[in-house]
Every structure is written in C-alpha cells, then in structure tokens.
Structure 1
Amino acid sequence: MKAAKFATGLALGLAVTTTMVTTPASAAPRSAAADRVVLTNADSGHSVARSVGDDTEIRLTAYRADGLTYTWSMPAAGDSRVLGRTVGGTAPTGDAYAVLHAERPGTSTVSALRRCRPDPGRLCPMVVVPWKATIEVS
C-alpha cells in the first residue's frame, strides 16, 4: 500500500514539475524572436551593424588577481532612443550584463567601466578601464 502511494505521489510530482517548467512559445519575451548578437570583454572598440528589432547582449566578465577584483559597471547606451535596455545588471562577482533592443535607425555607443575593488589590506591601482562598442542600427 505504501509503495502504491509513493508511486502515485512520485508520478504526480513529476507531472507537476513538467507542467511548471514547460512554457508555451507564445509566452516568450519579445527578444526571444529577435536576432541577437553577444558582445564580451574582447569586443571593446568594435563596431556592430544591427537592424531595427534586433537585440545586442553585452556580457562583461570580472576577474581577480593578487587580492584585487576588477569589476564592471552595467553597460549603458549613449542614445536610449536608438538602443533601449530591456534588461541589465551586475553580479556580486563583478560581472555585468545588458540586453539592448534596437528601437530605431541611428548610431549609439555602449559603454561600461572596469574598476578595482581591493580585499582588506590591499591597494588598487588608480586606473579605470573603459569598455566601449559602437552599434549602428539600420
């Protein structure tokens, strides 16, 4: 009897889990249908051509060395009329991200800053490193 109740409970639990993680395609965010390009630390200084309706994802990765953590600010578009940020933020690790949606034709520079955060008893160099990419929307 206990085995039957366990099997029934297990089957019910699996059915509920499957239902919870299954999402219909119609519920996908608008950016899921857009063409997406991902820019990273290595893409600083690059220019990217995009079309109205496309998304550009920025993923900047922090790093640690010798008791210092080099963290990023959240990427921001210079002209929000051309590139609207749909999501963005920073992580406790110092990583930063943003998704920018091409709203209308034009050119916008996307930028972020990398700064040093020292561990207790450590000193950072007085250097701020910019990250910048130019996005041309047609």
Structure 2
Amino acid sequence: MSRPESLSDLARAVRENAYAPYSHFKVGAALRTPSGKTYTGCNVENVAYPEGTCAEAGAIAAMVADGETEIAEAYVIADSPHPVPPCGGCRQKLAEFAKSGAQVTLATIDGAELITKVGDLLPGAFGRDHMETETGGDA
C-alpha cells in the first residue's frame, strides 16, 4: 500500500503552478478532510488586483466542488523569509470549514514551519452562531 502524499509535498508542488506575474509571490495550499481526501490550490493574480484569488480559497473551492465541507488540516507555503499567515479573508474562509482546533501549518520553501490552529489564526471569529436569532432560528 502506498503512503499518501504529505500536505507539504502537495502544497509545494501546486505552488509552482501559481499565476503571479505581478507580485511574483507564489503561494500553494493543501487541505485534508476528515475522510482523508486532499485538495490543493494556488494563488491566481489578475491585473485588477482585487479580482485575484488566494491559494487557500482555491483549495477550499475544489473541496466544496467535490462535495466535502470540512477541513481537518491545512498547509500553506510561500517563498518568504518567515512562514506566511493567511490573509484575513482566508482566515475567515478556513474558519467557515474547519473547527477551531484544526491544525494549520504555515511554511517557507526553505523548510521553516509554524504550526498553529484555525482558532489561533482568527480569534473571535464571526461565525454561524452570530446569524441566529434569539428564538434559535435563522436571521
């Protein structure tokens, strides 16, 4: 039986496919779900900067498109002197699909890693419970 690829290997490989002609800052992300499936994404820039997408968002979109809705673990890698945390929007996206205790590894291409949890990346996250009314129904 072959060993599944590590999230590190997957994120490192997909990072090479990033489309970053403006910033030249390539990012790769890999996610694993509780079922063991893995999904990857890379950043895709656009000349109209706000229209680009982050690596984490791409991996999450692939996961949801495949019918999965929970992240058990995430790995994000970039060419930076220090491990790069996800942007604020991606922190919120991770919090949407992962429990606060889900592991997130932030890495550099030189091998430095910082292991954290989704809840530590986004303390006080806006969540589903904020959308409920006092009677327990949806707003």
TM-score (norm 1): 0.28
TM-score (norm 2): 0.28
Q: Which has the higher helix share?
A: 2
Q: Which has the higher contact order (CA 8 A, sep 6+)?
A: 1
| Larger-gyration structure (1/2) | 1
